[in-house]
Amino acid sequence: MIKCTFHVPDDLHTRLTAQSAADRRSLNSELLHLLEVALTTVGADAELPGGDTAASAQ
């Protein structure tokens, strides 16, 4: 697994921490869950930067 570090505004961190507690997940697990949900809701024909489609990028 790749380790990734990034900066998050205080208010967003507060919201993420509250959501992770409500879902009984660690902050890391909550972030992974939210990213997975966001990426899977993008349709197969959604445009990616550069004009490619998700289907052709695979």
Question: What are the φ/ψ torsions at residue 18 (nearest 5 degrees)?
Answer: -65, -45
Residue 1 confidence (pLDDT): 87
Residue 44 confidence (pLDDT): 47
Residue 47 confidence (pLDDT): 63
Q: What is the mean pLDDT of each run of 10 residues along the chain (58 residues)?
A: 93 97 96 93 63 56
Q: Which residues, at least 6 apart from 54, have a Cβ–Cβ distance to it below 8 Å?
A: 42, 43, 44, 45, 46, 48
As a whole number of angstroms, the distance between CA 39 and CA 29 comes to 15
Q: Which CB contacts under 8 angstroms, 24+ apart, belong to 33-37?
A: none
Q: In the structure encoding, which two tokens stand for residue 7, read together?
A: 């900066």
